[in-house]
Amino acid sequence: MTLTELKQFMDTHKKEIDVRMPDYIETMKGPQTLKEAMTYSIQAGGKRVRPLLMLAAVSAFRSVEEQDYQAACSVEMVHTYSLIHDDLPAMDDDDYRRGMLTNHKVYGEAFAVLAGDGLLSKAFEMISTLTHISNDRKVRMVMELAQSSGLEGMTGGQASDLEGENKTLELKDLEYIHDHKTGALLTYAVTAGALLGDAPEEDIKKLKQFSRELGLVFQIKDDILDIEGDENEMGKAPGSDEGRNKSTYPSLLTMSGAKEKLVFHAEKAKSFLPGSSSYTSLLKDFVDYVAERAH
């Protein structure tokens, strides 16, 4: 497979995801302003990397089915919730994300907290109401998502990230942060895809190792783009991490060191891909996509 074929896969499925995302909230009963706040952020664009990664993992084992979109959109709900909370004044205090006002700038802090809360609960509901996989697999997905999103995963990573501001971190601390803040949910996306596809346990194990490396590629690339990226494509000003005195891969390793590390983890990720069937090349191409993206 080539990056063109991956791009086609992503374009096709991204459209389906973008169409469905607001529907999951629209059909719910609840206070109108809170529904709007939740919908605002899930419609605020984004590359949909996590759901697409989940579908790429599914298609390693079988073709994508309608119900897979519900599982895939579910991880995007969790990602969106984390962005809303991370942007809050008490956290990263961001006014813009992807070129749009952040949730609390539009709906106020209270509703931003609640919109995030509502999206996290919704994600678990969406897993529990899948109809195309066994309850055993659903329970496993709930467990994996809960662990990836909580203290031992993303939430813990965000806490460490906040504690690390204005400190010069060692490389291992930086990796801990990214492994949890970004890596855990990417790993969940791939693991869930494998669970949806009824993958053997051995493959799931290898795909988790794959995901960990992919997560590092993702974050190193983010740090590089923060310095070298184009403001229009990024939706935020380059250098914003530097301005907040955050340790980054380029600041710890120099830019060329960071780029070497990017290639190292990209290759390592690919080495964990099980088997040699056509699907693995879709995930393999995903690594290159993440490493070479421009925003």
Angle at Cα 193 formed by Cα 55 and Cα 178, nearest 5°? 95
Distances in whole angstroms, Cα of residue 128 to Cα of each of 2, 31, 43, 107, 144: 35, 23, 23, 29, 13
Q: Is 159 in the site for a second copy (CB under 8 A)?
A: yes
Q: How far is the CB of 1 from a second copy (least distance, A)?
A: 35
Q: Is 186 in the site for a second copy (CB under 8 A)?
A: no
Q: Is 143 in the site for a second copy (CB under 8 A)?
A: yes
Q: Is 21 in the site for a second copy (CB under 8 A)?
A: no
Locate 249 and state its tokens.
Answer: 């891969």
DSSP state of 183: I
Q: How far is the CB of 141 from a second copy (least distance, A)?
A: 9
Q: Please pick, from the candidates 85, 181, 212, 284, the single residue that binds a second copy as defined by CB under 8 A.
A: 85
Q: Which stretch binds a second copy (CB under 8 A): 15-23, 42-50, 125-133, 189-197?
A: 125-133
How buried is 17 (Cβ within 10 angstroms: 0-12 exposed, 13-18 middle, 19+ buried)? buried
Q: Is 216 in the site for a second copy (CB under 8 A)?
A: no
Which DSSP string do the residues of 177-225 spell out, in sequence order?
Answer: HHIIIIIHHHHHHHHHHHHHTT--HHHHHHHHHHHHHHHHHHHHHHHHH
Q: Which stretch binds a second copy (CB under 8 A): 23-31, 48-56, 212-220, 227-235?
A: 23-31
| 239 close to 253: Cβ distance less than 8 angstroms | no
Q: Is 79 in the site for a second copy (CB under 8 A)?
A: no
Q: Please pick, from the candidates 120, 207, 214, 283, the single residue that binds a second copy as defined by CB under 8 A.
A: 120
DSSP state of 101: E
| 226 close to 248: Cβ distance less than 8 angstroms | yes
C-beta closer to a second copy: residue 25 or 54: 25
* Residue ranges in contact with a second copy by CB under 8 A: 25, 28-31, 33-35, 38, 85, 88, 90-91, 108-111, 113-114, 116-118, 120-122, 124-125, 127-129, 134-136, 138-140, 142-143, 145-147, 149-153, 155-156, 158-160, 162-163
